[in-house]
Amino acid sequence: MHPLEAGEPTAVGPYRLLGRLGSGGMGRVYLGRSAGGRTVAVKIVHPHFALDEEFRARFRREVEAARRVGGAWTAPVLDADPEAPVPWVATAYVAGPSLTAAVGETGPLPPHSVRVLGAGLAEALEAVHELGLVHRDVKPSNVLLTVDGPLLIDFGIARATDGTASLTSTGVSIGSPGYMAPEQILGKGVTGAADVFSLGAVLVHAATGAPPFPGDSSAALLYKVVHEEPELDGLEGDLRELAAACLAKDPAARPAPGDVARRLAPEGASRLVAAGWLPSRLVEQVGRSAVRLLNLEAADTGPEAPGPVSGPPGFSRASAEGPATTANPAPAGRFGPPPPMPPADPPPSLPEPGDTPPQETAAPSSRPGRFPGAAAAGGEGRGRRPSRGVVLAVAGALAVVTAGSLLLLFPFRSGNDGTGGGTPGGDHSPTPVATTSSSPSSPSSPVPVPVRYLGTWEGQGAALGGALPMGTFRVTVRQAAVGEKAGTVRHTDQIGGVCDDVLTLRQVTETELVMSSEGAGANRPNCVQTEHTVRLSPVGDDLVYKSESSGSGYPEARLSKAE
């Protein structure tokens, strides 16, 4: 487990997060704890999935189905919120290594342990298939080893992403190369037999320390699964025969999960587990994991630890009760920026002019932020949904979008000069502005920036007309003449990604500052570097930030004075 970094959430829904367990193509997994002290694993899907209505519908359906899975060898789904701005699901946490970690650190399992492992997983799959479900992503990292037996985890998300993105989409994996069944790779329909194929591959990995289809690239692995026979060196006797049967190319030729379980453990996996099934080196490792977890919790609940999250529960309640109002404030959970950016209040929805201005933000802090509540997007409980056309435009622009600052959400159309920006379907060069002072070459009569705008301002933003929470915007404005550098914009997205823009003053009017904004050279690849127009206008004691970046979905934010 990794400690939380600045910008990562400290709370999701009713769960307080203690550390990051890992990440993958579909999301990040955190160790969390409920108010009652139960330890959970919380998976937060990547924000770009939130834009896809079909994904949300599938995710909702699969989470409900996964709640029904209650076999002895599965980690149950305890809670979820498919309606949150960024959907999440919580499952029971087990203090034991994954099969991937165990084999990597201590080597292949002995034959007896492999038998118990296979029997337990087969019984778990039998229970899953009886409910009409297919796991679709059985692999070593989704198998946990405990003193009480193996556990199969990660129901509900892999299937929900099916149809959301193709196998070639960057950062997306519907199944895992080398452990996927041939029919799954070829898109010929997936049944429970695909899980049996994956189970056979897991058994080979556990017994030999290597997958049955080795390769140094996803393309090579997928080709071998479809066209070549598995490598079973190191397996002997009935274990080799059973693994070969599970790895048959023809789904109809594979044994059923119940048959696998009976061949490995005729009297049931529980009897073998009770007699002891893990080698001593792994028993010690499981014990150390449990001790570390207890120590972590003890440190987290000590007298110097921060108190529990205040305010109403996170996503679920906000999603059910609708938009934030004075009587129904936004949930306490929200993402915060990395240092030196302070935690952002008020909620990220943009108040109308005339509303009571939010209080000034707190002093800068390096403390990680909190996950945003459903009111972050404004409108309905989790924000107004973009139309199917907008979703398709997003999907066409990028196969995968991580919610980076000024995210690349829409394809740029280049004009004759090769620049981007502007409005969809029109001229994509930055919006021209007329200055009210002399040109940059005539600095003798500059128009200064009014004192009203100077300083550092911060607030939460949203794009796509409020439908997509964008995280924190921190804008610094300095004194400058037209044509000179006038400040910076730092945008911290909801998973901690940071991008910086440089502002150049273009126009000063009685009602707004107009500046051009361009990405800084050190930005990460997800940041939009194309020059675009930014407008700042006063509203009460605040400033309203409006960006004309089409690639970012035209983000807006209401900013309060921070410094």
pLDDT digits (tens, 9 = 90+) for 493-505: 766 678 899 999 9
In tens, the pLDDT along 326-344 reads: 333 333 333 333 333 444 4
Is 80 exceeded by the pLDDT of residue 360?
A: no
Predicted pLDDT at 467: 64
Selected residue with higher pLDDT from 256 and 24: 256
> Active-site residue 501, yes or no?
no
Is 60 exceeded by the pLDDT of residue 324?
A: no
Predicted pLDDT at 376: 34
Residue 354 burial class via C-beta count within 10 angstroms: exposed 0-12, middle 13-18, buried 19 and up:
exposed
In tens, the pLDDT along 457-491 reads: 999 888 877 767 778 899 999 999 999 999 999 99
Predicted pLDDT at 297: 54
Selected residue with higher pLDDT from 62 and 180: 180
Least confident of 51-60, 69-78, 369-378: 369-378
Predicted pLDDT at 294: 65
In which residue are the tokens 């529990």 written? 308
Tell me the fold of 350-561: Lipocalin (2.40.128)
- 315 conformational bin, left if phi > 0, alpha if psi -120 to 50, beta if neither: alpha
Selected residue with higher pLDDT from 128 and 400: 128
Kindly provide the b/e burial profile for residues 360-391, where b requires at least 16 CB atoms within 10 angstroms of the residue's own CB. ebeebbebbbbbbbbbbbbbebbbbbbeeebb
pLDDT band at 514; cut points 50, 70, 90? very high
The stretch 152-178 carries a mean pLDDT of 51
Which amino acid is residue 139, in one-letter code?
K
CA 296 vs CA 18, 39, 244, 289, 460: distances in Å: 8, 11, 43, 10, 32
Least confident of 74-83, 189-198, 384-393: 384-393
The stretch 249-268 carries a mean pLDDT of 95
Selected residue with higher pLDDT from 364 and 97: 97
Q: How far apart are CA 402 and CA 499, in angstroms?
A: 12
pLDDT band at 426; cut points 50, 70, 90? very low
Is 60 exceeded by the pLDDT of residue 407?
A: no
Instruction: Supply the DSSP string of 315-355, one letter for each residue.
Output: HHHHHHH-S--SSSPPPS----PPTTSPPP-S-SS-PPTTS
Residue 449 burial class via C-beta count within 10 angstroms: exposed 0-12, middle 13-18, buried 19 and up:
buried
Predicted pLDDT at 550: 80
pLDDT band at 25; cut points 50, 70, 90? low
Is 60 exceeded by the pLDDT of residue 165?
A: no
Predicted pLDDT at 111: 94
Predicted pLDDT at 224: 92
> The CATH number of 96-280 is which of 1.10.510.10, 1.10.287.370, 2.60.40.10, 1.10.8.60?
1.10.510.10
Task: Answer for the pair 469, 462: CB distance below 8 angstroms, yes or no.
Answer: yes
Is 50 exceeded by the pLDDT of residue 379?
A: no
pLDDT band at 536; cut points 50, 70, 90? very high
**Residue in 52, 137, 154, 542 annotated catalytic:** 137
pLDDT band at 535; cut points 50, 70, 90? very high
* 15-23 and 27-33 beta bridge pairing: antiparallel
pLDDT band at 246; cut points 50, 70, 90? very high
Task: Answer for the pair 500, 520: CB distance below 8 angstroms, yes or no.
Answer: yes
Least confident of 217-226, 274-283, 425-434, 465-474: 425-434
3-state secondary structure of 482: coil
Q: What percent of the chain has pLDDT over 70?
A: 66
Dihedral, 376, 404, 79, 100 alpha carbons, nearest 10: -170
Predicted pLDDT at 494: 60
Task: Answer for the pair 343, 306: CB distance below 8 angstroms, yes or no.
Answer: no
Q: 31, 36, 27, 26: which is closest to 12 by C-alpha?
A: 31
The stretch 510-531 carries a mean pLDDT of 87
Q: How far apart are CA 308 and CA 188, in angstroms?
A: 49
Predicted pLDDT at 551: 76
Selected residue with higher pLDDT from 560 and 132: 560
Q: What are the start and end residues of each CATH 1.10.510.10 domain in the chain?
A: 96-280
Is 70 exceeded by the pLDDT of residue 523?
A: yes
What does the longest C-alpha to C-alpha distance in the chain come to? 93
Is 50 exceeded by the pLDDT of residue 417?
A: no
The stretch 125-131 carries a mean pLDDT of 88
Selected residue with higher pLDDT from 537 and 153: 537
Is 90 exceeded by the pLDDT of residue 227?
A: yes
The stretch 88-114 carries a mean pLDDT of 89
Q: What are the start and end residues of each CATH 2.40.128 domain in the chain?
A: 350-561
Task: Provide the mean pLDDT of the chain.
Answer: 73
43 marked among binding-site residues: yes
Q: How far apart are CA 264 and CA 73, in angstroms?
A: 15
Predicted pLDDT at 437: 42
Selected residue with higher pLDDT from 472 and 26: 472
Dihedral, 33, 35, 38, 42 alpha carbons, nearest 10: -40
Is 50 exceeded by the pLDDT of residue 229?
A: yes
Is 90 exceeded by the pLDDT of residue 353?
A: no
